[in-house]
Chains A and B, each alone.
Chain A
Amino acid sequence: MKVLVTAKRVIDPYVKVRVKSDGTGVETANIKMTINPFCEIAVEQAVRMKEAGIVTEIVVVSIGPLQCQETIRTAMAMGADRGILVETAEEVQPLAVAKVLKAIVEKEQPRLVIMGKQAIDDDSNQCGQMLAALLGWPQATHISNVTLNGDSAEITREIDGGLEKLTVKVPAVVTADLRLNEPRYVTLPNIMKAKKKPLENIKPDALGVDIKPRLKTLKVAEPASRSAGVKVADVAELVAKLKNEARVI
C-alpha cells in the first residue's frame, strides 16, 4: 500500500518570530527553518506503518521554494522513499495546497494521505479537510491513533470532550495530532542514504493547478504586549471584574 505524506517547511519552533518592519508578513530570510512538527509526526506514522509491513511505499510532498528540498530530505532520512517538490516562490494558501495535493494524489494513487493537522506558522488547520473534500474521500482529523484493517482504518481523534473513536473507509485523508507518536531521531546512515533517494521537482503549472492567492493579507502586526495585572481585594471584586471588565462570565 502506498502512502502520501506532506512536509511543510516552517520557521524552527525555537526561533523567536519577528514581524517584518513593513507589516507584510514575518521575517523568514536567513532564519532557521525546519519541517513542521505535525508533518514530522505524519512522516513518523507512515514510517512506522512501513516498518510494520502495512505500507510498501512512502511518497513525501512539499510545496514552496527550492529550499523545501531540505525538508523533503529530512523526511526521507526518517524513512520516506521518495520526494516530490512542487516548486513555487509564490505564497501558497490552504486551498491552493489542497488543489496541488489533489493533482498529486490523482497521479500517485496512494491509499492513504497522512498530513499534519496544521502548520505551526499560520495555524490554518484547513488543508487536510479541503483535500478530503476535493477528492471526495473520508477524512479523520486530529488523530492520536490509527490502525489499518484492510479497506478501513480504526481512528482515535482528540476532541474537546475527550477521545472519539471512529472507522473510516480508505482511501482517506488523516491529519496527525501531537500525541499520535513521538518522531525518531534521524540516524546518520539514513542521512547519507537520503541523499541518494529520488526527488522530483515539478511546477504547479505542470499540474494544471492555479495557485493564485484568494485571500489578501492586509497587515501583520505583533500582538499587543500584556499589561501588568492588578490585585483584587476579595472574591466579590474578582467576580465583578470578570463580569464587567473582562466580560467572560
Chain B
Amino acid sequence: MSSYVAPLKDMLFVINELAGLDAVAKLPGCEEVNAELTEAVLTEAAKFAQEVLEPLNRVGDKEGAKLADYKVTSPSGFKAAYKQYCEAGWNALGGLAEFGGQGLPHIVANPVQEMWNSSNMSFSLCPMLTSGVMEALGQHGSAEQLQRYMPQLNSGEWSGTMNLTEPQAGSDLAAIRARAIPEGDHYKISGTKIFITWGEHDMTDNIVHLVLARLPDAPEGVKGISLFVVPKFLINADGSLGARNDLKCISIEHKLGIHASPTCVMQYGDAGGAVGYLVGEANRGLEYMFTMMNHARLAVGLEGVAIAERAYQHALEYAKTRVQGREVGQRGGDRVTIIHHPDVRRMLMHMKSQIEAMRALAYMSAAILDKAKHHTDVAEKRRNQALIDLLIPVVKAWCTEQCVEIASTGVQIHGGMGFVEETGAAQYLRDARITTIYEGTTGIQANDLVGRKVGYEKGATALAVIAEMRKTVAALGSDIAGSFKPLSAAVDALEAATHWIVETFPRNPNAVFAVAVPYLKLFGTVGGGWMMARAAKAVQKKRAQPGADTAFLDAKLATARFYCEHVLPQAAAYQQTVMSGADSVMALAESQF
C-alpha cells in the first residue's frame, strides 16, 4: 500500500515557471506572496496532508458516513482531523482578511487544495463547500450577514453547504420548487433538496446552508429563484447559538465513491418553515450562483488532477515492488518488478504525462483567475476574465475525464489485484467517478464551451489562445522543436475545429452540441500539449543554470516528448469527429433506439 507524497517539485515548477507566480505577486492584495512563502506554505500543507488526512482516506471509504435519528456521524478520526485542520488555520487559506482569512491567491491556495484532495477527497469536500459559501456571501451578502457568518466560516467553527438540486431540478435549475414565504425580517423556507454534500455532520457546531428557493410572486424559470442563508441553528443577537432551525437530513445516499462525504437529502420546513434570510436581491439567486461558478469548477478540475496523481503514485509503488516475469528477450536470470515491462511503462508514462499537463493547465487557470480578480488595468482584467471563462469548462471537464481514465489505468497496472478492494487502487477509480458529474457534467461543460464561450463570441478568445499556442511552438529551440512537431499539427486541428464551430453554430446549433464533448477534449488535449511545450522551454532555460536539478528537468523533457507522441496524435481524430461526426449522432429516430 502506497502512501501519498505531495509532488512538491512539480507543483513548484508549474507555479513558478508556467503559471507565473511573479506576475500574481505584483497584483494589489497579493503583495505578501513570493516564491519562498509559497514553498513554505506548500511544504507544511504537504506534511499535514500526508500525516493527518491520508491515513483517514481508507478508513473513510470503508466506514462511510452514518445516519441515525437525522444525525450524521462522520467516520472515525474525521472530527479530530477537522479540528486539527482548523486549528492549523488551513480553513482560512483563501478567506477575506477582515474576517480572519489569509487572503492567499488561487495560485497558492489551489495547489494546497490539490494536496487535500489527493490525500482525502471526501474530507476536503467539507471545507471546499465552506469556501464556496464564503465566496457567495462575500460577494452578495449584507454587511450584517458577513459579520454574522464569516468569522466562524473562516475559522472552520461552522461549515457551509450549497442547496441547489431538487429531485426534478438537476442540471435544469429552472425547475426548482422550494418555497420561501416572507415573514417579518426573514422568510420561511420549505422543500426538499438532494445531493447536499456534507449537509449534516458532527464536525462543526453549526452548518450554514445556502438555499435556492422561490418567492410566492416569483416569475417562472431561472429569473424567479432567490438565494437564502439558512443556518442549522439560529443565531442569537449576541452571536451565540439559539434554537434548532426547521430543517433536517432525512437520508444519505449510498454511493459508488466518496463514501466518507455524506450526500444528504435535506428536508426544509416540515414544522412550518425553516427560518432563512435573503441574500442580495430577490430573484437573482441563480445569477449569484454563477458568479462563483468559475471558482467552484476550477476546484473540481483540481480534484481531477489530485485523484489522478494519487492513483498514479499508488500504481507506481506497485509497479516498483510487484515481481512478475523476466525482462523481455531474457531467457534466464532473475524475475523483475513489473516496471521493467514496456507496457507497464507505457501506462505509467501515460498517467504521468497527462497529470503534469493537467496540473499545468489548472494552475495556469488559477493564476488567470487571480488576475481577473485583482488586476488594476481594466483591459487586462477583461482579457483575463474572457480567458478564464473560456478555460474553466475545459479544465473542469478535461481534467476530470482524464482522471477517470487515469484512475482506471491505475487499477489496470495492478492486474487482478487492482479489482480487489484491499489493494486500494479501486477507491481512486470510484472516488474519481463523481468528478465528471457534479458541478456541471462533462456534457454541460462542453455545451458551455461551444455555446456561451466559443459560439457567442465567434471564437475571439479561443483564437487568441490558439495564437499564443503558435507563439510557444515558434519559440522552441531548434534542438527540441523536432519533438514538438505533433503539437503544430494538433494546434492546426484545434484551429480548424474552432472555425467549424464558429461557422456552424449560428445555422445549426444542434450539430455543434452533438460534437461539443469531442471539441472540448480536443481543446484539453491540445491545451495540455501547449503546457508541455512551455514546460520544455522552461527546462531549457533552467538546465543552463548552475546547480540545476537535471534529473527532474530531463524527466520533464522526456515526459513532454511522450505526451507529444502518445497523446497529441488524438487531436487529429477529435478534429475529424467534430467536423464530420455531427450528423450520425442525431441520425436515428427516437423509436430506433
List the interface of chain A (C-beta within 8 A of B). 14, 29-30, 32, 70, 73-74, 77, 185-192, 194-195
Contact = CB atoms under 8 A, between A and B. Distances in A.
Given A14-B5, A32-B8, A188 B41 contact: yes
Contacts of B547: 29-30
23 contacts: A14-B5, A29-B549, A30-B548, A30-B552, A70-B39, A70-B40, A73-B40, A185-B48, A185-B52, A185-B88, A186-B44, A188-B44, A188-B93, A188-B102, A190-B89, A191-B37, A191-B40, A191-B41, A192-B32, A192-B37, A195-B36, A195-B37, A195-B40
Contacts of B52: 185
B547 to A, nearest CB: 6
A14 B548 CA distance: 22
A18 to B, nearest CB: 11
B90 interface: yes
Given A73-B40, A192-B32, A192-B102, A187 B89 contact: yes
Contacts of B5: 14
A28 B116 CA distance: 28
Given A14-B5, A32-B8, A188 B89 contact: yes
Nearest to B552: A30
B218 to A, nearest CB: 42
Nearest to B8: A32
Contact of A77 (B40, B92, B102): B40
B172 interface: no
Contacts of A188: 41, 44, 88-90, 92-93, 102
A136 B32 CA distance: 45
B237 interface: no
Contacts of B244: none
B551 interface: yes
Contacts of A30: 547-549, 551-552
A6 to B, nearest CB: 20
A189 B52 CA distance: 19
Interface string B497-531: 00000000000000000000000000000000000
Contacts of B548: 30
Given A185-B47, A188-B41, 4 more contacts: A30-B547, A70-B36, A77-B40, A191-B44
Contacts of A185: 44, 47-48, 51-52, 84, 88
Contacts of A14: 5
B551 to A, nearest CB: 7
Contacts of B552: 30
Nearest to A69: B36
Nearest to A184: B88
B40 A187 contact: no
B287 interface: no
Given A32-B8, A70-B40, A77-B40, A189 B549 contact: no
A184 B547 CA distance: 33
B334 interface: no
B22 interface: no
Interface in B46-69: 47-48, 51-52
Contacts of B317: none
Contacts, number: 54
B123 to A, nearest CB: 15
Contacts of B32: 192, 195
A195 B32 CA distance: 9
Contacts of A73: 36, 40
A187 B37 contact: no
A187 B85 CA distance: 9
Contacts of B102: 188-189, 192
Nearest to B40: A191
A192 B97 CA distance: 13
A11 to B, nearest CB: 14
Interface in B28-48: 32, 36-37, 39-41, 44, 47-48
B205 interface: no
A188 to B, nearest CB: 4
B395 to A, nearest CB: 25
B108 to A, nearest CB: 10
Nearest to B112: A188
A87 B52 CA distance: 35
Contact of A189 (B51, B84, B89, B551): B89
B538 to A, nearest CB: 16
Interface in B74-132: 84, 87-90, 92-93, 102
A14 B41 CA distance: 19
Nearest to A195: B37
A154 to B, nearest CB: 30
B40 A74 contact: yes
Nearest to A34: B43
Contacts of A189: 89, 92, 102
A44 to B, nearest CB: 14
B549 A187 contact: no
Nearest to B46: A32
A14 B32 CA distance: 31
Q: Among the interface residues B84, B88, B93, B547, which one has the most CB atoms of the partner chain A within 10 A? A: B88
B170 to A, nearest CB: 37
A187 B90 CA distance: 7
Contact of B88 (A186, A192, A194): A186
A194 B90 CA distance: 16
Contacts of B87: 187
Nearest to A196: B32
Interface string B242-277: 000000000000000000000000000000000000
Contacts of A192: 32, 37, 102
Contacts of B8: 32
A191 B89 CA distance: 10
B40 to A, nearest CB: 5
A195 B102 CA distance: 14
A191 B39 CA distance: 11
Contacts of B36: 70, 73, 195
A113 to B, nearest CB: 26
Interface string B549-570: 1011000000000000000000
A189 B551 CA distance: 35
A29 B545 CA distance: 13
A72 to B, nearest CB: 11
B555 to A, nearest CB: 12
Nearest to B32: A192
A73 B552 CA distance: 26
B31 to A, nearest CB: 12
Nearest to A30: B549
Nearest to B5: A14
Nearest to A194: B40
A19 to B, nearest CB: 16
A121 to B, nearest CB: 19
A211 B52 CA distance: 41
A81 to B, nearest CB: 17
A74 B42 CA distance: 12
A186 B32 CA distance: 18
A74 B40 CA distance: 8
A238 to B, nearest CB: 29
Q: Among the interface residues B44, B51, B551, which one has the most CB atoms of the partner chain A within 10 A? A: B44
A30 B39 CA distance: 14
A187 B41 CA distance: 9
Contacts of A74: 40
